[in-house]
Each structure stands twice: as structure tokens, then as C-alpha cells.
Amino acid sequence: MRFILSLITWYHGETLGTRLMTRFRGSKVGEDEQGNAYYRNRDDSRRWVIYAGEPVASKVPADWHGWLHRTFDNNPAERPLPHKTWEKPHLDNLSGTAAAYVPAGSIQQAHPADRRDYEAWQPE
């Protein structure tokens, strides 16, 4: 079923065109810690990623993002960027889920804060 979906849609993995290009013209450059595989063609005019699981662009780490967009040419598999101790691991986008951030005073909270300090604007 997944193979059939990949023939007609892009959001179930790589499309048939990407699969064929990867197989016949791509050379694997490396993988990140999430299992995403990175490829380039022979003359390095194209670079692409095959996602492990759901294709979400925010799952591409900063060092591989820089390589994909030619910010730098160093292969992160061979020369990874130094990471700072304060950097946090990747979290999926939680918007639309029960774990999404809801600020104080939002009407989405179970008990929104009483806003007596707020006065609605009225035109004169």
C-alpha cells in the first residue's frame, strides 16, 4: 500500500521520480541520527534528503541543512559541526495537539485568566 501511495503522492515518502533518481544517479553521502539519508549526484549539482518516516523538513539537523543549501561544503558525516551544550534535541511541532504551548490568558486554556486590566478599544 505504501508503495502505491508513493507513486501518486509526495507525503508518503519519496516519489517514484525521486526513487529512480536516487537509485540511478545518486550517491549516498551520509545519515543523521534520526535515520534521514542524504544524497548528491555525480557533479554535486543536486543534493537531497530521503526522510526516515514522515517527511518533515524540521527534522533535518542544522549541519545537514547547511550542507543541503550549500551554506558550506563540508560533509557533516565526515566533519560535523561542533554543537553547544545548551542546544536541545529536536522536538516535533506540537501545534494542534494537546501538548501544544498555550500562553497564560489564552482562551484555549481550561480556566483562562480574568482580564480586568484589559479594556476593548471603542471607536469615537
64-98 pLDDT, tens digit per residue, is: 999 999 998 888 988 888 877 787 877 778 888 88
Torsion sign over Cα 46, 52, 53, 57: negative
Structural domain includes residue 112: no
51 CA to centre of own chain:
9
Global pTM?
A: 0.67
Query: Is residue 90, in this structure, part of any structural domain at all?
Result: no
Supply the Cα-derived Rg of the chain in whole angstroms: 22
Express each pLDDT in 6-45 by its tens digit: 666 666 667 777 788 888 888 999 999 889 999 999 998 9
Residue 28 within a domain: yes
DSSP per position, 67-108: HHTTS--S-TTTSPPPPPTTPPPP----TTSTTS---TT-TT
Q: Could you tell me the residue range of the domain that residue 59 belongs to?
A: 2-68
Distance from C-alpha of 124 to C-alpha of 121, rounded to nearest angstrom? 9
How many structural domains comprise the chain? 1
Any domain includes 99? no
Instruction: Report yes or no on 88 lying in a domain.
Output: no
Backbone angles phi, psi at 23, to 5 degrees: -70, -45
Return the C-alpha torsion angle 37, 42, 46, 52, nearest 10. Answer: -10
